[in-house]
């Protein structure tokens, strides 16, 4: 399977930063083979980034960082999957920052997974332990199984799972970062649960200097990038390394 590199811009960029970043990435990845790339800007810049990517190679896809599982209705401030369907191919669901700051639980994330599948969008389902402990792998599997409740075998092939250990997110300059071997061990466990057809990504402080450690592992099919996706040169560097340059 071709490596998948996903950029999660999180709550960053103004309109001009978003346009410049998307344009630079698009121009540098023009006719780029050997890796699938997804950009996930904030909701409010999706349309702008879509119009920038439109005149390029359809291999750079667009993703949203979140969704609401209902189709429409009185849900002030929310964005449904059916609205996103026009613009996106992927939606990140279950990110640890949403669990932490917005109290999202496995049941609600499961509803989002089903909503994505209903509208033929690929959910990028995030799982990962808060702290490394003897029980972390058990907890990750429990979360994974609960978030995938009711998902059929065929549907599993339309999902991406991202393993993001919370203790390794945004820590690139301060310390604890998951090793490639450790990340691989957990991704292997996830793969055993979801099957070979489901891409499993690693995310957490990946940079162009460290991406090789992860992408070279047998059970890691790609990477989910936060901070390093906000700089076009760094992000393009990661994409190039991911395809073995």
How far apart CA 15 and CA 206 sit, in angstroms, is 25
CB of 56 or CB of 171, closer to ligand 13P? 171
Among 164, 165, 183, 199, binds ligand 13P (CB under 6 A): 164
Q: Phi then psi for 80, rounded to 5 degrees?
A: -90, 165
Q: Which of residues 92-121 bind ligand 13P (CB under 6 A)?
A: 95
Q: Is 204 in the site for ligand 13P (CB under 6 A)?
A: yes
Length of the chain: 245
Token representation of residue 131:
């702290």
Whether residue 164 lies in the annotated active site: yes
Whether residue 95 lies in the annotated active site: yes
Shortest CB 221 distance to ligand 13P, Å: 16
Burial class of residue 154 (count of CB atoms within 10 Å of its CB; 0-12, 13-18, 19+): exposed
**In the 8-state DSSP scheme, what is residue 183?**
H
The structure tokens 């349309």 sit at: 47
Catalytic: which of 30, 95, 146, 181?
95
CB of 176 or CB of 197, closer to ligand 13P? 176
Q: How far out from the chain centre does Cα 37 lie?
A: 11
The interface region with ligand 13P, picked from 21-29, 81-89, 162-170, 193-201 by CB under 6 A, is 162-170
- Degrees (nearest 5) of the Cα angle 68, 71, 73? 90
Shortest CB 168 distance to ligand 13P, Å: 7
User: CA–CA distance from 7 to each of 91, 113, 139, 200 (Å)?
Assistant: 12, 19, 26, 15
Among 3, 94, 222, 226, binds ligand 13P (CB under 6 A): 226
Among 3, 5, 8, 32, binds ligand 13P (CB under 6 A): 8
Shortest CB 159 distance to ligand 13P, Å: 16
Among 62, 109, 169, 200, binds ligand 13P (CB under 6 A): 169
Catalytic: which of 97, 104, 111, 164?
164
Question: Could you give the residue numbers annotated as active site?
Answer: 95, 164
């Amino acid at each position: 399977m071709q490596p998948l590199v996903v950029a999660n811009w999180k709550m960053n960029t103004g309109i001009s930063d978003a346009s410049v970043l998307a344009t630079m990435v698009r121009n540098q990845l023009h006719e780029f083979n050997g890796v699938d790339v997804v950009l996930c800007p904030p909701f409010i810049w999706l349309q702008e980034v879509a119009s920038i990517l439109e005149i390029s190679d359809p291999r750079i896809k667009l993703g949203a960082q979140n969704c609401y599982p209902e189709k429409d209705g009185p849900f002030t401030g929310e964005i449904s999957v059916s609205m996103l369907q026009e613009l996106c191919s992927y939606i990140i669901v279950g990110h640890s920052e949403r669990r932490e700051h917005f109290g999202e639980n496995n049941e609600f994330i499961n509803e989002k997974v089903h909503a994505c599948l209903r509208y033929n969008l690929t959910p990028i389902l995030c799982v990962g332990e808060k702290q490394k402990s003897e029980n972390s792998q058990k907890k990750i599997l429990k979360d994974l199984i609960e978030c995938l409740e009711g998902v059929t075998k065929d549907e599993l092939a339309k999902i991406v799972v991202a393993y993001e250990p919370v203790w390794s997110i945004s820590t690139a300059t301060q310390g604890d970062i998951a090793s490639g071997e450790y990340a691989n061990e957990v991704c292997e466990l996830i793969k055993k649960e979801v099957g070979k057809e489901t891409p499993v990504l690693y995310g957490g402080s990946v940079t162009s200097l460290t991406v090789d450690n992860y992408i070279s592992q047998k059970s890691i099919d790609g990477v989910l990038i936060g901070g390093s996706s906000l700089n076009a040169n760094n992000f393009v560097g990661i994409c190039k390394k991911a395809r073995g340059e």
